[in-house]
Amino acid sequence: QTVVTQEPSFSVSPGGTVTLTCGLTSGSVSTTHYPSWYQQTPGQTPRTLIYDTNTRSSGVPDRFSGSILGNKAALTITGAQADDESDYYCVLYMGSGFSVFGGGTKLTVL
Amino acid sequence: EVQLLESGGGLVQPGGSLRLSCAASGFTFRSYAMSWVRQAPGKGLEWVSKISGSGDSTYYADSVKGRFTISRDSSKNKVYMQMNSLRAEDTAVYYCAKNGGVYFDYWGQGTLVTVSS
């Protein structure tokens, strides 16, 4: 069974740049997986950041960007701010109506 | 403004049943697929099920297949999740989400389901 992988945790300094990745235990991530990214702070509803690999959702600042890097999807945060400290989840579309979440990355800004 | 409001969560014994509802507004309901996503306490998000805009097609995660049934009523702009044979591991906050293509573009606030004796 293919699993979607993410770094369990990451840290970034305020003002710094961080790239979170989303991979597969078997195979490569491509645009045909329509990678999407979601931000969730504890106790809050998820917020949609990026969809279709690199399209920002309405109201999302342009310091959030999505891409394919090598064989993984990637979420890059440029100029990290304190309120970017959250959990970040990727989702890959596996075809035939099925989507799979990654395990999430806990981002610390310090 | 898109709004999704879940209801129906609560405490249920193992083996019991529960039906969740999601009331949708602010968009052309029958034009969009809808999904349920859950989050166990302290854990990550898990896609559970999806129903097409017409209601003709349904999809389930392996973890709930055969026990959960998703449905929708376009006359009421509601999506439902009938959950049977509930297990302790089904304990989670259940979110209703609107599909914008194959991703989730709007989320409800969630409803907590606790399976415990």
> Cβ distance B27 to B77 under 8 Å?
no
Predicted confidence (pLDDT) per residue in A8-63, tens digit: 999 999 999 999 999 999 999 999 999 999 999 988 999 999 999 999 999 999 99
| Interface touch A48/B46, C-beta < 8 Å | no
* Structure confidence at residue B48 (pLDDT): 97
**Mean pLDDT per 10-residue segment, chain B (117 residues):** 97 98 97 97 96 96 97 97 98 97 95 97
| Interface touch A100/B35, C-beta < 8 Å | no
* Structure confidence at residue A45 (pLDDT): 97
In chain B, residues with a C-beta closer than 8 Å to the C-beta of A96 are 59
Q: Does B42 touch chain A (CB under 8 A)?
A: no
Mean pLDDT of all residues in chain B?
97
**CA–CA min distance A103, chain B (Å):** 6
In chain B, residues with a C-beta closer than 8 Å to the C-beta of A104 are 44-45
Q: Does B109 touch chain A (CB under 8 A)?
A: yes
Q: How many whole angstroms separate alpha carbon A88 and alpha carbon A78?
A: 15
What is the DSSP track for A60-80? --TTEEEEEETTEEEEEESS-
**A2 — pLDDT class (breaks 50, 70, 90):** confident
Q: How many whole angstroms separate alpha carbon B110 and alpha carbon A55?
A: 26
| Interface touch B44/A57, C-beta < 8 Å | no
Which candidate, B86, B87, B104, B103, places its Cα nearest to that of B95? Answer: B104
Which residue of chain A is at minimal alpha-carbon distance from B108?
A: A45
* Structure confidence at residue B64 (pLDDT): 97
Considering CB atoms only, which of A38, A40, A97 is closest to B59? A97
Provide the sign of the torsion angle of the four alpha carbons A28, A31, A33, A35, taken in this order.
positive
Which candidate, A36, A101, A97, places its Cα nearest to that of B39? Answer: A101
For chain B, how far is it from start to end, CA to CA, in angstroms?
40
Residues of B (10-29) whose Cβ lies below 8 Å from A: none
Q: How many whole angstroms separate alpha carbon B97 and alpha carbon B106?
A: 6
Q: Does B103 touch chain A (CB under 8 A)?
A: yes
Question: In sequence order, which residues have a C-beta less than 8 Å from that of residue B3 and are 6 or more positions away?
Answer: B23, B24, B25, B26
Which candidate, A39, A43, A45, places its Cα nearest to that of A88? Answer: A39
| Interface touch A103/B46, C-beta < 8 Å | no
Q: Does B3 touch chain A (CB under 8 A)?
A: no
Instruction: Name the DSSP class of B31.
Output: G
Which candidate, A95, A110, A80, A106, places its Cα nearest to that of A32? Answer: A95
Interface residue of A52, A93, A98 to substitute, partner B, most B CBs within 10 Å: A98
Q: Does A66 touch chain B (CB under 8 A)?
A: no
pLDDT value at A1 more than 90: no
